[in-house]
Structure formats: C-alpha cells, structure tokens
Amino acid sequence: MAEASASGASTGRKNIVKTLEFDTRLLGMIGAFVLVCIVFNVLTDGRFLTPRNIFNLTIQTVSVAIMATGMVFVIVTRNIDLSVGSLLATCSAMMAMTQTQVLPGLGLDYGSPLIAPVAILVGLLTGAVIGAFHGWLIGYLAIPAFIVTLGGLLVWRNVAWYLTNGQTIGPLDETFQTLGGIGGTLGVTASWAFGLICVLAACVAIWQSRRSRIRHEFPVKPVWAEFMLMALAAVLILGFIAMLNAYEVPTRVLERSFEARGEIMPEGYREGYGIPFSVLILIAVAVVMTLVARRTRLGRYIFATGGNPDAAELSGINTRLLTVKVFAIMGALCALAGLVASARLSFHSNDIGTLDELRVIAAAVIGGTALAGGIGTIYGAILGALIMQTLQSGMAMVGVDAPFQNIIVGAVLVLAVLIDIIYRKRTGDA
C-alpha cells in the first residue's frame, strides 16, 4: 500500500508538471539555483540571503547576463565569440574618453545633460560596428568564428589600453553612473508600481498565448493551470521587488541627502533602494531579445540557420548577412554591458571585462544553449548568468581562494554540458 501511495504521489506530480507545461530542464536549473543559495546561506550563517547581498548579487549579474542574451544568438547559429570581454573594454574606454576628454574639449562642461547620452551612443556604435566587422569576416570571408574572435580578444583588449594610455579613467559623469546600480534606483514606491505593471504584463501574455493557441486549434492547458501560472509569476515578481525594497539606504547617506536639500531628516525616517536602473536595462534587453527570438523574421532565420545551415541557405535565407547582424547585435550588447560595468565602478579600468568571455559562454551553455546550434533561450542564459554569479559570490563570502573558485566554475561548466548532452539524448533533441 505504501509503495502504491508513493507511486501515485509521484505520478500526480508528473501530471501537474505536464499539465502546466513546465520545461523540466528549467525546473532543474531553478532547483539547482535554490539549492546553491540555501547551501551558501547555511555556510555564511544567514548572511547570503540578506536583502543587501541579494541586491549586490543582482547588480553584479547584469553585465554578464546582458552579453549572455546575445551569446545565445551567436551559439545558436553555430558560432562562438571569444572577444566579448575585450570588446566590452574597448567600448567602455570609448565611453570614458568621450565623457572625460572629447566632449569637454568640445566645450561641454562636466555635468552637462548631453554628456551621458552622447557617450552611450558612441559606445553602442563602437560595439555594433566592431561586431559587424567580426560578422563580415566570418560570414563573407569564411574565416572561422573561433579564429576571428580569438584574434579580437587580443586586439580589442589592447586597443582599449592604447585609448586610455593604460590609465584608469574617471570619475565618470554622474548621470552615467546612475545606470550602474546602487547609484541609481527607482525607490520603494516606484518599484512596487513597476512590479505591479510586470505582473499585469505577465498575466496578459499568458492569456494571449492561450487565445493564440485556441485560434490556431492547438491544445491548451486547463483554465486553472493558466491561473496557477499567473499566480506563480506574481509571487516571483513581487517577492523579488520586496527583497530589493527591503535593502535600506544607510542613515548617513540619507542625512547627507537631506542636508544637500537644506532639510532636516525626520526622526526614524527610512528608505529602501528598490530596483536598480541597471536591472531595468537587463529586463528591457531580455524582453526585446525574447521578442526578436520568438516574434520576428530575424529570430526565425537565426534558429532555422542554427538548426540546418544548408537547408536555410537553400530556402533563401542570406546566411552571410545574418551572421553580420548577429555579431552586430552581440557587439551592441557588449557596449551596453560595458556601460553598466563601468557605471557601477564609477570609472574605466584596464582590467574591466577580463575573463567575461568565459563567464558569458558558460552562462549561455548552463542556460541550455546547445553548442551544436539551433537551440537556446534568453531566459535560460540570464538564469545561467545568475547561477554563475551566485557561485562566485557565495564562494567569496565563504572564503574560498580565487584559484579554487575558477576551478569549481570550470568544473560546473563541464558538468552542465554533460548534463545537457544526457538530457537531449533522453528527450530525443540531440
């Protein structure tokens, strides 16, 4: 009887997962992430899952996560980009030099509202042009992506060094710095409002997906399952917002803020940080890249080419131009990541982005992007980046030496690929 009861419970859980149409691989990743958080929280006597550490972990993940979304497209098309860390450094150097030397030399004073937008535009153009150049070498000259981007890793790291003469450039524009994380946040009230908007958007998206499936006569989940997904999305979103809002601004910082306005801070006044602007940038990137992947012709071409390049070319897809577009997107995202990384530091340093290429590739692969091409998700890459950063931050808090941290991260990457291979063989996706 006991065995029958256990078997029935197991079958019930499987039926629920099947009814809700959860990606079992995604559930496994989430489970692994939760387990890692719990382990580190125990090892750090409860310090790991504090609002302050969650806030810092979030803003530290953003730059790698942004690039990981672009790496999904690159790997899906059966290419690789080893230059992203160096390209980030070059874009960061261009933005830093534009702010501190070029624009002031043209008569724009420090603090001008035009400095940050112009510098960001310069960085994005730099990244997109360099990325497109890589794509042209790969697509039109048929040089393997591994060689082109390996050369780019060496070239652009040193171009960044020459642009700055090997010096640290800063402080950067104050408006620019707000995009890095702790220097710019929405605040508690606006964060709750944003969270409610996200919940509403998630519910609308789930319901529209259901209506679309009905319209095309595809099978749909029961209504209760749809509402359960909506409730789960609401809990996750609002829980995340609550955690960020719980991280309070230090009292001395608030006092200086009130003093700068010529006011006296009320007794017992407290204020939370809320959502960092850098996280809003990541959310915007995630939404745009997901829409491109799922709703546009470019996205369909990318996955079709990755699935079968010869068939894609025979069907009329310009795979050469597609390669240029994919690497141009990757370059622009490197610039965006460079913006977030340098803004968080408040200056440009020569070692910015070092080893990011390995973290970005690892994030995409851990997130389920197949190195053989044709398969990958944006949300998976972001979750992979979060897992990578969680491992590194947790090990640092525990006191693990830096070399051993890299050993563990490398081992996790290999294990993730092995698990992915086994999973795809069992599900018939190999």
Q: Are 159 and 190 in the same domain?
A: no
Q: Are 199 and 113 in the same domain?
A: no
Please name the amino acid found at residue 302. I
Residues 21-28 have a mean pLDDT of: 70
Q: Are 321 and 419 in the same domain?
A: yes
Q: What's the CA gap between 211 and 232, in Å, rounded?
A: 20
Task: Tell which of 244, 275, 306 closes a domain.
Answer: 275
- 241 domain-assigned: yes
Q: Name the burial class of residue 383, with classes exposed (0-12), middle (13-18) and buried (19+) by CB atoms within 10 angstroms of its CB.
A: buried
Tokens (6 digits) for 7:
């078997």
- 2 domain-assigned: no
The answer to whether 47 and 400 are in contact (CB under 8 A) is: no
Q: Are 172 and 209 in the same domain?
A: no
Q: What's the CA gap between 193 and 51, in Å, rounded?
A: 19
SS3 per residue for 243-279:
HHHCCECCHHHHHHHHHHCCCCCCCCCCCECCCEHHH
Examine the pLDDT at 400 and tell me if it is beyond 60. Answer: yes
Task: Tell which of 243, 275, 307 closes a domain.
Answer: 275
**DSSP code for 109:** P
Q: Are 189 and 176 in the same domain?
A: no
- 172 domain-assigned: yes
Residue pointed to by tokens 């050369």:
151
- 9 domain-assigned: no
Q: Are 252 and 333 in the same domain?
A: no
pLDDT confidence of 17, banded at 50, 70, 90?
A: low
Q: What's the CA gap between 328 and 85, in Å, rounded?
A: 15
Q: What's the CA gap between 149 and 136, in Å, rounded?
A: 12
Q: Name the burial class of residue 115, with classes exposed (0-12), middle (13-18) and buried (19+) by CB atoms within 10 angstroms of its CB.
A: buried
Q: What is the pLDDT of residue 211?
A: 87
Q: What is the pLDDT of residue 1?
A: 45
Examine the pLDDT at 11 and tell me if it is beyond 60. Answer: no
pLDDT confidence of 248, banded at 50, 70, 90?
A: confident
- 289 domain-assigned: no
- 81 domain-assigned: yes
Q: What's the CA gap between 356 and 422, in Å, rounded?
A: 27
- 212 domain-assigned: yes
CA–CA distance from 313 to each of 53, 137, 153, 302, 371 (Å)? 48, 18, 30, 12, 20
Q: Are 119 and 172 in the same domain?
A: yes
Q: Which residue has the higher pLDDT, 430 or 297?
A: 297
Q: Which range (55-69, 277-291, 314-328, 361-375) has the least confidence?
A: 361-375
Q: How many domains does the chain have?
A: 2
- Model confidence pLDDT, tens digit, residues 162-205: 999 988 887 888 889 999 877 788 888 999 999 999 999 999 98
Q: What's the CA gap between 396 and 232, in Å, rounded?
A: 32
The residue range of the domain holding 122 is 27-35+58-182+297-430
Element holding 350 (H helix, E strand): none
Tokens (6 digits) for 137:
């070498």
Q: Are 401 and 304 in the same domain?
A: yes
- Model confidence pLDDT, tens digit, residues 40-94: 999 988 889 899 999 999 999 999 999 999 999 999 999 999 999 999 999 999 9
Nearest residue to 246 (alpha-carbon basis) of 278, 283, 275: 275
Residues 318-343 have a mean pLDDT of: 95
Give 100's Cβ-side CA count (13 Å radius): 17
Q: Are 168 and 195 in the same domain?
A: no
Q: Which residue has the higher pLDDT, 28 or 44?
A: 44
- Model confidence pLDDT, tens digit, residues 194-238: 999 999 999 998 888 888 888 887 887 788 888 888 898 899 999
Examine the pLDDT at 7 and tell me if it is beyond 60. Answer: no
Q: What's the CA gap between 392 and 175, in Å, rounded?
A: 29
Q: What is the pLDDT of residue 19?
A: 58
Q: What's the CA gap between 430 and 426, in Å, rounded?
A: 8
**Phi, then psi, of 169 in degrees rounded to 5:** -105, 125
Q: What is the pLDDT of residue 261?
A: 76
Q: Are 160 and 253 in the same domain?
A: no
Q: Are 110 and 233 in the same domain?
A: no
Q: 376 CB contacts (<8 Å, ≥6 apart)? A: 72, 73, 75, 76, 364, 367, 368, 369, 370
Task: Tell which of 217, 240, 275 closes a domain.
Answer: 275
- 408 domain-assigned: yes
CA–CA distance from 242 to each of 36, 51, 245, 275 (Å)? 21, 9, 5, 10
Q: Are 232 and 131 in the same domain?
A: no
Q: Which range (12-26, 299-313, 354-368) has the least confidence?
A: 12-26
Q: What is the pLDDT of residue 192?
A: 94
